[in-house]
A and B are shown apart, each in its own frame.
Chain A
Amino acid sequence: MTVTPFPELAPVPAPVFDVETILAGIDTMAAQKPVAAQLVSVANSEDTSAKELSRILASDVALAGRVMKLANSAYFGMRGRVTSLQFAVTVVGFTTVRTMATVALTDLDDESRLPENFWDFTTHLALAASTLAPRFGERPQDALCLGLLAQLGAALLFHNDKEGYGEIAAAEPTFAGRRAAETRRYGINSLRLTAVALEQWGFPAPMVVPLKHVDDYRAPEGALLRSCFEIAARLTTEDYDTVPIVRVSCGQLREDDVVPVLDVVRADADELRRAMLAD
C-alpha cells in the first residue's frame, strides 16, 4: 500500500463568528412556518403535482397570494388569466413555488431585516439570470430561482450579525472583496452559505453548483451567476465600477449582448419585487 503524505493545509485564521448558529436559526424559523417548510421539502420530489402543492399552499394565504401575483405578472405573460391557485402553481413551476416558500421561511420577505437594497438587487439579478440562461445552456427557471435565493446567505449573515455585516458591506465595494471579508469573519462567504443551505434542503445541483464557483473566474459553472451579479450591480448601484463582461462570463458575453438584457430586466424588476414581498 502506498502511503501518500498529507498535503500541507494553508493556515486559516479562526472565524470570529459561529456560523452554525445561523443554520440552527433556520430550523427555528421552519418550526414557526410549517407550511413554507413543508413546501420546501415536498416541491422537489419527483411525484409532486400542482394539485398537491396548491393544496398545501392554500393554507398559507399570504404565500398563496404572492404565488398568484407572480403567476399573473408580466414575467410569465399570462395577463391576469391565472385565477386558480393550482393553475398558478402550474404557470410558475414547482421550483419557483419552492423558492418562494424558502423566501418566506427565511424571512427574506421582511425588508426591515435585510441589507439595504436587497430586493432591488435580487430581482435584477434573478431576471438577468433568467434572461441569459439559454446562452449558458441553463434552464431560465432554475436561473431565476437561483438569482432569487443567491443572496440568502448574505441575508442570514445580516440577520445574525447586523452590525458586523454592515461594516463589511460598507468597507468592501467589490463582490470579491466582500466575500473575502465574509470568509474572514464567518469562516464562509455568503454565497457558499447559500449553497450549504440549498444543498441541505435538497435543491437541484444547477441551483447549487454555480454558487460554489462564482469567485473562480476560470470556472464556466460560475459564469452565468457572475455575469448577472455584474449586470445587477450596473443597474442598481450608483457609481459602480464595472468589470468587463467578457471577463466575468468566461468569454460567453460581449458588452453588446448586455444592452438588450438591461432593458428586459429593468422592465420587469419592479413587478417581480412586488410579487415576492409581503404587501
Chain B
Amino acid sequence: MTAVIASDDHVPPEIVSSVFYSASVSDSLALLVAETAGRTQRIAWANEGAVQLLGYGLADLSTMPVEQLFPTLGGGELKLLLRRERSARRTLQVRTASGALVEAGVITTPSPGGRRWTVMLRATANEQERALRATADAHERRFSALTERSPVPTLLSEQGMRLAHVNDAFCGLVGRGADQMLGTGWIDTIHPDDLDAVIEQVSAALDGGEVEVQARLVRDDGALRTTVIRFAHLFTPGVGAGFVATIEDITDRLAFEAQLAHQANHDPLTGLPNRTLLAEYVAERFRPAAGGLACLFLDLDNFKVVNDSLGHTSGDELLVEVADRLRATVRPGDLVARFGGDEFVVVCERVDEDDAVALAERITAALSRPMRLGGVDVRPHASVGVTVQTAEHVAPEELIRDCDIAMYQAKAGGKGRISVLDQEARAQARDKLRLVTELRDAIDDRAITLLYQPIFGTVSRTPVAVESLARWDHPVRGPISPSVFVPLAEESGLIAGLGLLVLDETCRQLAEWDRLTGAAAPPRANVNVSALQLDGNLPDQVLAALQRHELHPSRISIEITESALMKDPESAQKVLQQLRDLGVELAIDDFGTGYSSLAYLRHLPVQCLKVDRSFVAELGDGHGEIASAVIALARNLNLCTVAEGVETAEQADELGRLGATYLQGFNLAEPMTGGHAAAWFAVHGETTT
C-alpha cells in the first residue's frame, strides 16, 4: 500500500482504474472509504465485498457515520482508528445490518491530506479459521488427555525451569497437588544436591538437546525417590523453546540391584563381606610402599569338632556368633570379612604392628567368652595370623597371603595363638612358592629323573626286582630330597603329574631294559603311589602306561603307604581290587608305622608287606621284635615281605633267619640310573637264570 502511494504520481491512469475496478467488484475483500464531513466521519464508498459482509444496502452505507459501524469504540477512540498521519490496525466489533456484532480485523490507511481513509475489514472468524482452531484444540485436548491419563509422570515446561503442566502420575509420585508445582514450585521436589544437575540438563534441553539426568525427588512426606528424568526439546514458533520431561522412578530397581550386588559380595550366613569384596576392599586401599594397612587372618580352632559333634546348625550358629563378636570388637571403619569356612579376615587402616597385635588380642579375648551351643558351653578359640604392610608388599593379594601364612604358623605353634609374619617366615614362604613353580617346570620338562634300587631274594641273594625312586637335581640348589618335594607336590596339586611321570618313565625303562638286555632285564619294578593318587583314575592310568610300553601287568608292583590306605579304607580297597584285577602286584609300604587294623589288612588284595627301615635298623641294637612280628604276620597271612634299609651283612643274615622274603638296601645295591641298572643286571641278572 505504501509503495503504491509513494509512486502514485507515476502510475498510469489506466492502471489506477484497473486496480480500482478489481477492488470495487471483489467479494473476498471488504473495502470502505471514510471521509470527514463537518465534525464527523462518514462512509463515502463501499465495495461489493463490504456490502456482502455487512448486509447494508450501498445507499445506506454511503452516508453512515463511521462510529455507527464500530459501536464499541468510545468517543475518543475513533481518532485512534482514523489517524491523520499513520495507518492503524485494530480488532473491533462491527455492526452488521441484522444488528449482530461481527469481530473483524480493521486496517485504516489515511490518504494524503488526512481527511479520507481506506478502511479494510477482515472477518477474523471465518469458517476456515474456525476449522483450524478446532483441529488445534482437538490436538491440544488429545495431548492433554494422553499425558493426563498416562502412568508416566510427565512435565511440560512453560519458560526456563517454569512448568505449565504436570500430570496426575507426577503428582502421585511426589505426593503434591498440581497447583503447588506449576511455575517454579516443582523445584522444591528436587533434592537440593541434585538441583544443579537438573538445571544443567534443562539448559541443554532448552538449547535443543535430548538429555537425561538421575535425580532424587523429595516426596511431600519426606521420602526420597530416585528417578531418571528425560528431557526433550519443544519449540513453539513465535513463542520460543520449552521442554517435555518424563520421569522414571528407579528407586525399586536400584534397591533390587543393590540387594543383588550385596548378595554377590556378602556371605548369606553371617552377612559379612565375602572373599570377593575383601579382595576389592584391600585392592582399593593398597598403595605400594605406603604402609599402614594390616590384615588379621583368623581360623577357628576345632570348628570341625563342633560341626561333627553338635551338627551343622550349631556350627552355623557358632559362625554367626563369631561374626557378631568380630564386628563388635574391631574399630569403626575396620573391615571384617568371611574368607571361607571357619576363616575370617579383618582389615585395618593406619595401624602399626603393635596396634594390629593389640587388636588380635582383643579379638581372641572376645571370642573366647563362652557361648551356649546345643546345650553345651563352647569357648571359641582362634589362631590369628597378623601381617602389617611393608615395603616388600608389591601387590594387595600378598597381604592376605602373608596373614594366611602367619595363621598357619600360629596353628603350627599350638592352637589359640597369635603369630606375626616376620621377615624370615615371609622369605621362607616366598622361597617355597618359588620352589613350587620350579617343581612344576621340572615335571613338565621331565627333569625329575628316576633311580632304580635292586631288590634281592633273601635266600638266593639274586636281584628279583627294582624300586623306582624319584630324584630332583635342581640346577641351582643341587639334589632335593623326595621328603621335601613329594609333600610339596602333594600340597600344591602337582602330585598327579609327578605320579604319572614316575609310572610312565618306569614302564618306559622296563621296556628299554627288555630291549637291551633281554632275559637279564629286571623282572619287575616297584612304583610308589601317593595317597592323593589313590582314586578311581589310578587303575586306568596304570593300564594305559602298561599298554603304551607293551608290558605285562605282572611287571609292575604298586607300593602304597600304610597311612594312605587308612585315610579312606573302603575306597582304597576298591581301587586296590581294580588294580589287582588288572594283574599288577600290590605292596604296603612302611608297614608297621601306621595304625592298620590287622583284621582289615586280611581283606586287602595285597601280595607283599614292606618292613620299614626303622625296624630293620633296630635289629643292630638287638631289638628285632617288631621286624620279627611283621614278618611272622605276613607269613601267616600268606604275604611275602621286603625288608628295606638293609645296611649290613648281619642285618641281611638276621632277616634271612627271621624269614623275610626279599631284601633291599645300600649294603646290597645302591640306587642307580636306568643305564647303570641295564649294565648291572647284565652282570648280576645272568646268575638268576
Q: Which residues of A contact B (CB under 8 A)?
A: 1-4, 6-7, 9, 12-15, 18-20, 23-24, 27, 44-48, 50, 71, 74-79, 81-82, 87, 89-96, 130-131, 134, 139-141, 183, 186-189, 192-193, 196, 199-200, 202, 204-205, 208, 212, 260, 264
Contacts and interface: CB of A to CB of B under 8 A. Distances in A.
B69 to A, nearest CB: 10
A186 B203 contact: no
A91 B89 contact: no
A19 B77 CA distance: 8
A12 to B, nearest CB: 3
17 contacts: A15-B76, A18-B79, A24-B86, A76-B162, A76-B184, A78-B160, A78-B199, A87-B203, A92-B159, A92-B160, A131-B183, A134-B165, A141-B158, A183-B74, A193-B80, A196-B80, A208-B91
A263 to B, nearest CB: 11
B333 interface: no
B90 interface: yes
Nearest to B58: A1
A69 to B, nearest CB: 13
Interface string B76-118: 1101100111101111000001110000000000000000000
Given A78-B203, A79-B199, A87-B207, A264 B183 contact: yes
B144 to A, nearest CB: 11
Contacts of B160: 71, 76-78, 91-92
B75 A14 contact: yes
A116 B677 CA distance: 127
Given A14-B75, A74-B184, A20 B83 contact: yes
A20 B79 contact: yes
Interface stretch (B232-240, B307-315, B334-342, B462-470): B232-240
Given A199-B90, A199-B91, A90 B162 contact: no
Interface magnitude class on chain B: 35 or more
B277 interface: no
Interface in B131-162: 158-162
A3 B75 contact: no
A183 B90 CA distance: 19
Contacts, number: 149
Given A81-B203, A95-B239, A134 B182 contact: yes
Contact of B80 (A3, A20, A92, A93): A20
Contact of B89 (A2, A183, A199): A199
A81 B237 CA distance: 24
A175 to B, nearest CB: 17
Given A75-B184, A76-B159, A131-B183, A13 B239 contact: no
B68 interface: yes
A140 B158 CA distance: 7
Contact of B164 (A20, A87, A139, A189): A139
Contact of B206 (A44, A91, A199): A91
Contacts of A14: 75
Nearest to B86: A27
B237 A6 contact: no
A139 B239 CA distance: 11
A188 B91 CA distance: 16
Given A1-B57, A20-B83, A193-B80, 12 more contacts: A9-B71, A47-B237, A50-B241, A76-B161, A76-B162, A76-B184, A79-B196, A94-B240, A139-B164, A141-B158, A192-B77, A200-B90
A142 to B, nearest CB: 9
Contacts of A2: 97
B64 interface: yes
A14 B206 CA distance: 52
A12 B159 contact: no
A44 B236 CA distance: 12
A204 B86 CA distance: 21
B508 to A, nearest CB: 83
A199 to B, nearest CB: 5
Contact of B97 (A4, A12, A89): A4
Contacts of B159: 76, 91-93, 96, 140-141
Contacts of B158: 139-141
Nearest to A24: B85
Contacts of B184: 74-77
A241 B671 CA distance: 126
Closest CB pairs A-B (n = 7)? A187-B76, A77-B161, A12-B75, A76-B160, A91-B160, A93-B240, A77-B184
A170 to B, nearest CB: 22
B60 interface: yes
Contacts of A93: 159, 239-241
Contact of B76 (A44, A74, A95, A188): A188
A206 to B, nearest CB: 11
Contacts of A196: 77, 80, 90
